[in-house]
Amino acid sequence: MLNGLSDIYRFHEARSRSISAENPDGRKGGGGMADKSTTLQPAAVNCFKELGKGWKCSPSRPVKAGEILELMNTDGPGIIRHIWITLDKKFYRDVIIRIYWDSQENPSVEAPVGDLFCCGWNERQNINAVPINVNPSGGMNIFFPMPFKKHARITVENDSPNELEHLFYTINYTIEPVEDDSLYFHALWRRTNPLEYKSDYVILPEVSGRGHYVGTFMSWQQNNAGWWGEGEIKMFLDDDSQYPTICGTGTEDYFGGAWCFDPGDGAEDYSAPFMGFGQVRGKSGDPGARMAMYRFHVHDPIFFKSRIRATMQAIGWRSGGRYLPLQDDISSVAYWYQALPTTEFEPLPDRNYREII
């Protein structure tokens, strides 16, 4: 498998393929063949009627309310190397993406599209991370390599009462052998609103298998005034029970910041290759402020042999310099690689619970 720039100059036997609305099955020599009778986007007919076949006749596709649309259904072995997607931001929390590896019944990836790409409040944030880029104006990209040995299937579900008129997407993958010890990409979204008093937020419920944890994205609405990020990240590995092997020192510390993200005149946004923080609505410290943060463990993956669980405390300050357990609105995406089978996820919360008000 190619390893970024370090061996990009070497010849590789892989065969490149790309799935989009212009080539929905990724067939070799099968792109740009749509016409009036075969386009997946009826709204495009007027655009190309004078030019005809080969002139951007099927650039996107609609997704009806309640529809589950299959984007990829491909036999392996191979590696998904890049996914690009864009859609109206009002659907970010309503469109659910699921990825199934090697014909498993349970998805290994299940998340609202916006959250998977680090846009957690139905608002676009520019993200300049290595594994995930979000660019103007809503071009969402993921570069985590996703090997599959037997089969890969990707679906999107429009869990909204409204039709999504335009879903644009590209799935770039290679056909090539996959090493026996290759692990499978996983991602899971969760939300707790509000967090129960004196309880930890669960980023990743316990999953079984061997693998490594590679990232966290969190959306956080504070419901009290003042600083909200004294809580510690905790990673429970293998036979850990009451106490974790990995315990952080503060929420902003885990996301690569320090001292409340505040250089002296208010919290400061940043987007770096592996860590970032953004204020989506209001200012950190104000009741109702909404923040978003990411941390990718590309150079420091967290390895586990049999199981893993990840939590984050929510701690602010009360009078007298005492800690205040917070009851905030928190959601997250956990990213990890593991061997199959995938632990069956808890049922995805319904649209009312996911809704952003």
One DSSP character per residue, 90-147 reads GGTTTEEEEEEETT-SS-SEEEEHHHHTT--SSS---EE-SSEEEETTTEEEE---EE
d(CA 112, CA 107): 13
pLDDT of the residue at 261:
97
Residues 6+ apart with CB under 8 A from 23: 30, 31, 32, 33
Share of the chain above pLDDT 90, in %: 91
pLDDT of the residue at 192:
98
Q: Which of 25-34, 46-55, 56-65, 224-233 has the lowest average pLDDT?
A: 46-55
Per-residue model confidence as pLDDT tens digits over 338-356: 999 999 999 999 999 999 9
- Tell me the β-bridge partners of 235: 246, 310
Contact 220, 293 (CB under 8 A): yes
d(CA 347, CA 345): 6
For residue 222, give the nearest of 190, 251, 202, 188 by alpha carbon: 251
pLDDT of the residue at 45:
85
Q: Could you check whether the bond before residue 137 is cis, i.e. omega within 30 degrees of 0?
A: yes
Per-residue model confidence as pLDDT tens digits over 49-97: 888 889 999 999 999 999 999 999 999 999 999 999 999 999 999 999 9
Contact 259, 267 (CB under 8 A): no
Check residue 229 and report its DSSP letter: B
pLDDT of the residue at 15:
97
pLDDT of the residue at 6:
80
Q: What mean pLDDT comes out for the span 121-139?
A: 97
CATH fourth-level superfamily of 13-28+42-48+58-181:
Protein of unknown function DUF2961 (2.60.120.1390)
pLDDT of the residue at 87:
98
- Check whether 103 has a pLDDT greater than 90: yes
pLDDT of the residue at 188:
99
Judge whether 13-28+42-48+58-181 and 185-338 match in fold. Answer: yes
Per-residue model confidence as pLDDT tens digits over 168-184: 999 999 999 999 999 99
d(CA 320, CA 127): 38
d(CA 156, CA 169): 11
Q: What mean pLDDT comes out for the span 264-285?
A: 96
Q: What's the pLDDT band for 281 if we cut at 50, 70, 90? A: very high
pLDDT of the residue at 284:
97
CA atoms in the 13 A half-sphere facing the CB of 20: 23
The structure's pTM equals 0.96
What mean pLDDT, rounded, does the chain reach?
A: 96
- Check whether 2 has a pLDDT greater than 70: no
Q: Which of 35-39, 101-105, 157-161 has the lowest average pLDDT?
A: 35-39
Contact 288, 204 (CB under 8 A): no
- Check whether 122 has a pLDDT greater than 80: yes
d(CA 306, CA 239): 8
Cα-only R_g, the chain:
21
Residues 6+ apart with CB under 8 A from 44: 56, 57, 58, 59, 60
Instruction: Look at strands 15-20 and 164-175 and give their pairing.
Output: antiparallel
Helix, strand, or coil (residue 75) = strand
Per-residue model confidence as pLDDT tens digits over 293-347: 999 999 999 999 999 999 999 999 999 999 999 999 999 999 999 999 999 999 9
How many residues are present in the chain? 357
The 10 Å Cβ neighbour count of residue 8 is: 9
User: Domain-by-domain residue ranges, the chain?
Assistant: 13-28+42-48+58-181, 185-338
pLDDT of the residue at 53:
87
CATH fourth-level superfamily of 185-338:
Protein of unknown function DUF2961 (2.60.120.1390)
d(CA 104, CA 314): 35
